[in-house]
Amino acid sequence: MELELQLAVEQLHARYAQALDSDALEAWPDFFTADGRYRITTAESEARGLPLPVLYAEGRAMLNDRIASLRHANIYEPQRYRHIVSSVLVERESDDRIKSIANFLVVRIMENGETLLFASGRYVDRITFPDLKYAERVVICDSRRFDTLLAIPL
């Protein structure tokens, strides 16, 4: 059972990464519960307890809006991402809630072919069980500076 849970969560993270990296952005909100929260912050902000995230969205409508505005903006700047996820730790919080922590690295591939380290950090997730949706996905970036304004979700 514990093995199955571990692999089920790794699969969820894998499908999430594959969806973003294959530009299936419209599938992104479906990884969350109806009132799911998505937040990007920095390790520095987390450590200092600063309240303002880099990005915050709550509920499918806001998540959908995010994708819609990206689709509009990205007409002008085609780009590609590749997510690498590792070191996934899984913990049961209750009968219907799982906590997961994982390391990530995202590279960004620009139109001209240049590949950059775009972001690194950790995912801290609350996941519903057994349907495996993100009730909360907090993306804690290591670096204090990065441009997420036009970025694909991490």
Could you say which residues in the range 30-49 bind a second copy, by CB under 8 A? 43
Token code pair at residue 45: 């902000």
DSSP code, position 73: H
Q: Helix, strand, or coil here: 11?
A: helix
Work out how close the CB of 99 gets to a second copy at its nearest, in angstroms, rounded to a whole number. Answer: 13
- Which range of residues in 32-40, 55-63, 128-136, 140-148 is near a second copy by CB under 8 A? 140-148
Q: Who contacts 108 (Cβ-Cβ below 8 Å, separation ≥6)?
A: 79, 80, 81, 115, 116, 118
Closest by CA position to 1, among listed 79, 98, 124, 138: 98
Q: Does 86 bind a second copy (CB under 8 A)?
A: yes
Binder of a second copy out of 7, 24, 68, 73 (CB under 8 A): 7
Chain residues that interact with a second copy, rule: CB under 8 A: 3-4, 6-7, 11, 13-15, 17-18, 21-22, 43, 80, 82-89, 101, 103, 105, 107, 109, 112-117, 119-122, 142-146
